Structure 1
Amino acid sequence: MMKKSLLCMMTVLATALLSAANAVAQEYTLREIYQKALNTSEKMEIARENVYVAQMSKDKALSLLIPRLTAYGTYNRFTEDKYNTANIMIQPEDSAAWGVRADQTFSLSARELDALRIAGQSISKSEYDLDWAKSDFLLAVASSFYDVLKAQKALDITVANLERLTKYYHLVETRMKVGELTKTALLRAQGELSGAKSDYLKASNALKLARAALTRLTGVEPDFRLKEETVSLSEACDIQGLRKSASDLRTDLKSYDMQTKMAGQQVKYARGAFWPSVGLFAIYNRADQDPAGSTFNDENIYGGISLTFPFFEGGLGMAEFREARAKERQARLAYDDLKKSVDIEVEAACLDLDTLKGSLKFLEDQQIFARDNYNAVMKQFENGLATSLDVMDANTLLLTADKNVVDALYNYQLASLTVKKSSGTLLQFVRDGDPAVKGSSGALWQLTDVGDLRAKKSGGRLLLFFSIDES
């Protein structure tokens, strides 16, 4: 008896501590989770760095159009000065030279401008890739967010199932003592109760894992709380309109299109290798020597021009040109393939949303019927008009209906976001907000803290479950 009382006290204390911790924990809506995740994610930082790298590539391409200035200087010290037979100095004792040189080389095909255009297009492509990475990441955050909510509801359902089976166990135990039921009915009740205990532990650990995954993905503190929002179920899915939106707005399509343009520009750049290159240079030079000869010139300024024609390079230029043409064909094929895949993706997302929307109403009806059926069967069982098998079937139907409604509800909300991502409007949706979103007060399920869940849903009778002595 003392062991049971101690176990009850420990359970009450643990519940109270968890409730107190949740009371001061930071609460987040999905949009607040989005913002925090975007600011703290390493994946997003990597994508942003890709944009910066592309910008630096443009600076490198621009540097080819700017003359290169070089300063130089030398100093020489000899063992002695020397003169020829005509008494003309041929080697001074020491000499020095310094100056500035400007060089500029360019192709007559202006391929340097092609390189600059490619670098500019690379920046645009990186920015499109960043936006698409954000869309992927936001959908992953939403999926993890709803995983936590589903895990919380699964724990809620498990606790309710424990309550029902605990009540059933005590009914069977009482009726067996008065001789109305046999030992096999009690053993069946104990077996079902043990299975429910196992489900409770699995649900508790699944919730911990889902919370840990969301913390890892978004950077929120481990003791966070989530505030639920419900999306209106009246959302229509116009496949043709969404396909047009995807064609106009999806940044991965824009990125592939830009890659195609870059490949075409790369062909021009490779073709420019067959053209001559022109080099210009200008030099200002100063010199000094000791002793100075009669013909010594201490300053000169001069310039020059050179022309280089790649007459034979072992087929390198032609190989690079053909390679560029092949990559251009690859880019066009990849773009066409993605466009076809996007059409299927949009249609699949729409059909999934319509399926979940239609099935949710039937699942809600099933849940209501299952609950009414369970209540009726339990009353019949209490009056000896139903068997243990009838009760177990009714409880299993109710448990399955509860789980199906929760899964369908959150899968619908995630499917709604998937449709927006497939049509290219997810980022705009997150930035602008959704007028159809309302608070959770009108939701089918009210969000409940895990600590409150164990106390409120059991009505205090869950403690009785932990005190059962099955020995």
Structure 2
Amino acid sequence: MTISLAAVLTTAIGAGTLTASANTSTTEQIKTTAAATTEQTKATTAAGAETTTTATDAKDQTTAGSQTPAANSNTDKTTTASTTTNTNTTTNTTPATTAPVTTTPATTAPSSTAADQLTLEKAIQQALETNATLVTARLDAKNADLNQMLSYKTSAEMPADMIESLSAAKAKYVGNAQLEMTTKLNAMQVTATEGKIKLGAQQAYYNLIFAQDDLELKKQSLTRAQTQLKVAKAAFQVGTKAKTDVLQAEMGVAGAQASLTSAQNAVEVARMDLNDFLGVDLTKSWKVVSSNKQTAPIKMTMQQAEDQALAKRIELTKVQEELKLAELNVKLIEEYSALSSMQGRVARNNVEKSKMAIEEQKRSITKEVSQAYLNLNAAREAIDYQKTAKDSAAESYRLTNLRFENGLATTLEVIQAEEELSNRENQYQKAILQYNLAVVNFETALGS
């Protein structure tokens, strides 16, 4: 999909080497050309215009020879010196006006880090462009529209005064309505799939952020364990602590190292999951720009949220369209046949089924929105609780260290306090993750 930076740099260096070699040959050519030009100027003083042209050509060659890549600094110095001498000779010999010498600035290759930055918005956009499920849904919708057009085009063009039977009426009116509804529902299905893709992209994005944050926490935990080990060894060497304190500290370092390795693996898995969902190379690396949702309380009430969802959710629109089609069937049967017939009774039953489907869909949407609303409030409050617990664990770890330094606590107690702090830090980060996901789910439930 993109040209790697290594390939670009390799090409640039290769080109620079060729240019430097060419400049050495060009310098010798310039000397010869400049000497020939001087002799020609003396012999053809009367032909000033011709001399001017020759000098200008020599000047152009000199200018071309002066442009060398920055990567070949030694060659640049030699070539530039020779070129300067030749330029002066040509200028003095030919007093005619020449174009000013210009140097083309070196082009800086774009930074791959900047290109690989991933924000929440970019993750969503990438998924909407390359997610395989969404691309397939769009193609399926196009194929369905084409098939519907081919099936109903002839019937829809039938004049109304030629319709004399129920089957002909259905072929024209129901077929027409079916075509319009199918086209509309196909577009709605693509929109619904886009909503799911947006949801999935955000979930994968936040999972990667959580994995990276957790990795940083595990690094901090390992640093604390290593510091404790140094303290325990120093105390053991001066005879103030027993060998068991050193052994316990070593176990603490080993546990922290194992947790770090697990966190590193989790980052790689989360990155691959994100790449897979986005539809890009599984090995692609990202510099993720963290973007947390605002933790302000929800401004709308639950009833307002339910009303908004009922007005925007595509699922409800779908069953409403199906009701319209069922009612059209009843109308045609009533006009061209009899509602008391078998077809009439079936058509009326289908209308009732469609009405029940609408009520069922409303109930399902209302339940989903209510749950998302409650989960969001709970997730927001959990952040405050976990932050308090994390701060308390940090203070407990600090005090335990002080007690250890004064001989009032063992290494095991310090290790336990550190593990508690590490766990609380992890729970706080997880609370932030759960809140971000709760916001995403709530927005999806609203039909956003």
One of 233, 240, 246 as aligned partner of 1:186: 246
One of 169, 172, 189 as aligned partner of 2:229: 169
The aligned runs of 1:281-296 (5 Å cut-off) are none
CA distance in 2, matches of 1:260, 1:30: 39
Aligned Cα RMSD in Å? 2.7
CA distance in 1, matches of 2:421, 2:145: 59
Alpha-carbon displacement from aligned partner over 1:288-333 (angstroms, at most 9, x marks no partner):
xxxxxxxxxxxxxxxxxxxxxxxxxxxxx94x66665555444333
CA distance in 2, matches of 1:321, 1:50: 34
One of 25, 30, 38 as aligned partner of 2:128: 38
1:343 aligns with 2:366: yes
| Structure 1 residue matching 2:387: 3-state secondary structure | helix
One of 108, 111, 115 as aligned partner of 2:175: 115
One of 283, 291, 305 as aligned partner of 1:229: 291
| Structure 2 residue matching 1:64: 3-state secondary structure | helix
Alpha-carbon displacement from aligned partner over 1:195-242 (angstroms, at most 9, x marks no partner):
222211111111101000110111345112211223322141521110
Query: Is this contact kept in 2: 1:377–1:390, CA < 8 A?
Result: yes
CA distance in 2, matches of 1:345, 1:138: 18
Query: Is this contact kept in 2: 1:151–1:206, CA < 8 A?
Result: yes
The aligned runs of 1:54-69 (5 Å cut-off) are 54-56=144-146, 57-66=148-157
1:199 aligns with 2:262: no
- When structure 1 is superposed on structure 2, of 236-245 and 360-369 the one drifting more is 360-369
One of 253, 257, 262 as aligned partner of 2:320: 257
Deviation at 1:49, TM superposition (A): 2.7
Deviation at 1:128, TM superposition (A): 2.0
Deviation at 1:42, TM superposition (A): 1.8
Query: Is this contact kept in 1: 2:156–2:175, CA < 8 A?
Result: no
Structure 1: gaps spanning 5 or more residues: 1-20, 69-103, 276-316, 427-471
Describe the shift of the 1:369–1:185 C-alpha distance in structure 2 as closer, same or farther (beyond 3 A). same
Q: What amino acid is the match of 1:225?
A: K
The aligned runs of 1:259-338 (5 Å cut-off) are 259-266=322-329, 318=342, 327-338=350-361
Query: Is this contact kept in 2: 1:121–1:258, CA < 8 A?
Result: yes
Q: What amino acid is the match of 2:269?
A: L
Describe the shift of the 1:107–1:177 C-alpha distance in structure 2 as closer, same or farther (beyond 3 A). farther
The aligned runs of 1:355-366 (5 Å cut-off) are 355-366=378-389
Query: Is this contact kept in 2: 1:58–1:116, CA < 8 A?
Result: no
Aligned partner of 1:371 in structure 2 is 394
Describe the shift of the 1:105–1:200 C-alpha distance in structure 2 as closer, same or farther (beyond 3 A). farther
Query: Is this contact kept in 2: 1:374–1:395, CA < 8 A?
Result: yes
Higher strand share: 1
Deviation at 1:33, TM superposition (A): 1.2
Describe the shift of the 1:67–1:269 C-alpha distance in structure 2 as closer, same or farther (beyond 3 A). closer
Aligned partner of 2:410 in structure 1 is 387
Query: Is this contact kept in 1: 2:210–2:429, CA < 8 A?
Result: yes
| Structure 1 residue matching 2:156: 3-state secondary structure | coil
CA distance in 2, matches of 1:60, 1:220: 38
One of 245, 251, 257 as aligned partner of 2:308: 245
1:29 aligns with 2:123: no
CA distance in 2, matches of 1:323, 1:187: 81
CA distance in 2, matches of 1:38, 1:342: 25
What's the TM-score once normalised by structure 2's chain length?
0.67
% same residue: 22
1:156 aligns with 2:211: no
Query: Is this contact kept in 1: 2:131–2:278, CA < 8 A?
Result: yes
CA distance in 1, matches of 2:271, 2:346: 49
What's the TM-score once normalised by structure 1's chain length?
0.64
Q: What amino acid is the match of 2:116?
A: Q
Deviation at 1:148, TM superposition (A): 0.2
Higher helix share: 2
Q: What amino acid is the match of 2:321?
A: M
CA distance in 2, matches of 1:219, 1:240: 38
| Structure 2 residue matching 1:230: 3-state secondary structure | coil
Aligned partner of 2:77 in structure 1 is none
Deviation at 1:266, TM superposition (A): 4.7
Deviation at 1:107, TM superposition (A): 4.6
Deviation at 1:418, TM superposition (A): 1.2
Describe the shift of the 1:171–1:107 C-alpha distance in structure 2 as closer, same or farther (beyond 3 A). farther
